[in-house]
Amino acid sequence: MTKYDAIVIGAGQAGNPLSQKLADQGWNVALIESDQVGGTCVNTGCTPTKTMVASAQIAHYVRNAMKWGIHTTGMRVDLAAIVARKERMVLDFRGGQERKISARPRLRFYRARARFIAPHQLSVDGEILESERIFIDTGMRVAIPKIDGLHKVDYLTNATAMELREIPRHLLILGAGYIGLEFGQMFRRFGSEVTIVEHADRIIAHEDSDVSSELRKILEDEGIRFVMGASANRVAKREDRLQLDLEAAGRRSTIEGTHLLIATGRRPNTDDLGVEHAGLALDDHGYIEVNGRLETNVPGVWALGDVKGGPAFTHISFNDYQVVYGNLIEGKNLSIEHRLVPYSVFTDPELGRVGMTEAEARADGQRLKIGKIPMSRVSRALERDETAGFMKIVIDAAEDRILGAALLCTDGGELVQILGAVMMAGAPYTLLKGAVYIHPTLAEGFWTLMEDVKPVP
């Protein structure tokens, strides 16, 4: 048996920096990873997808260059070259993290699967490791739906879709969430025909209806087809095509494509962790239950990142590390309760979101003011000829505080963080009415947005 001051399970965006910082404190730390260093973000999530999305945006610009008075000839998408660039980026990011681990003599790396055999003991590749402090950052994986015939066909996930070297002729996508929309637009811009099937009646259904409707219109204008309110019942291979049987409102139909991408959700990696031997409490979906300080029901065991449930974003995982490290080492009293979570859907235009939606604020019984302007009222958007989408802000009418915002516009993910900073400061939205903005910038649109704020019934 080998004892450590701390054991970290999972080398993702919470476990990786936490293990390194604890080692820097002089702790003897074990870092256990069954797959690749960097977790989902570096290997199959943020880094590779946004690298390929950037290539898709360039393809879109070149294909539509005449819009800006530029003539091009011989435009061709080389998917193999795009994938090679993506792989170089992933290897560079992963290699940097691996070097940081290797540089710490007090940090021992195990490339193996960990399984609890007791509350503070783990079986790792035939060796028993023990520690009074264990941190779980095992993340999530694709949840494969139960569809008749699915196991008999070569379906794609977000990871395997980025390994294709040839552009799909017709990509069918199950799921109109973040992954389905980002991949759908990306492959459409590469040249694929794209059909997205969604069981709800609108895309990104947790957003306000005006946001989902506007984004759907933008994507449809690029040629993406949506089949809404439909469930997939069966899939079969028919020569060089896949046949997908759907049911919607009691009616059955069939669509065909050459490739099928599963983007219907993800599940936590807890089913083979031996949580029953540790006595860890899971919720109905298999996520590890934690309190505001990310402590589990087992003293000395914490859960960080996606495996604990809640918003599944890389920046949340990293903030989880900051919370745990701040409390454990720096004597702080940090909590994840009531923290402000900005996020972005990396379509083009981006959807930058922070705080409450209008629907959530209304359900909360708040008196509201709302401002909403189309991007055609922002000078910089007009000059760039990128006026799709809008800016929307939701205000607490009693105190003029910003409750939330949705920026469906070019660089929406960047812009929304300005509003997030104002929310963190507890300042009223009127602060932005008197701000001096650089002209012409997209952020300058905030002045017009704040001028549009008015009470709503």
Catalytic option among 170, 206, 259, 439: 439
3-state DSSP assignment of residue 219: helix
Query: Counting beta carbons within 10 angstroms of the beta carbon of residue 339, is it exposed (0 to 12), middle (13 to 18) or buried (19 or more)?
Result: middle
Which of 438, 442, 449 has the alpha carbon at shortest distance from 381?
442
151 is catalytic: no
CB 136 within 8 A of CB 303: yes
Which of 83, 408, 445 has the alpha carbon at shortest distance from 219?
408
Query: Counting beta carbons within 10 angstroms of the beta carbon of residue 146, is it exposed (0 to 12), middle (13 to 18) or buried (19 or more)?
Result: exposed
CB 11 within 8 A of CB 33: yes
Q: What distance in Å separates the CA atoms of residue 455 and residue 400, rounded to the nearest whole number?
A: 11
Q: What distance in Å separates the CA atoms of residue 401 and residue 404, rounded to the nearest whole number?
A: 9
Q: What distance in Å separates the CA atoms of residue 137 and residue 134, rounded to the nearest whole number?
A: 10
Taking the CA atoms of 410, 413, 418 and 422 in sequence, report the sign of the dihedral they define. Answer: positive
Q: What distance in Å separates the CA atoms of residue 63 and residue 87, rounded to the nearest whole number?
A: 25
Q: What distance in Å separates the CA atoms of residue 38 and residue 30, rounded to the nearest whole number?
A: 16
CB 420 within 8 A of CB 359: no
Query: Counting beta carbons within 10 angstroms of the beta carbon of residue 197, is it exposed (0 to 12), middle (13 to 18) or buried (19 or more)?
Result: buried
3-state DSSP assignment of residue 136: strand
Which tokens go with 228? 């809404």
Active site residues: 439
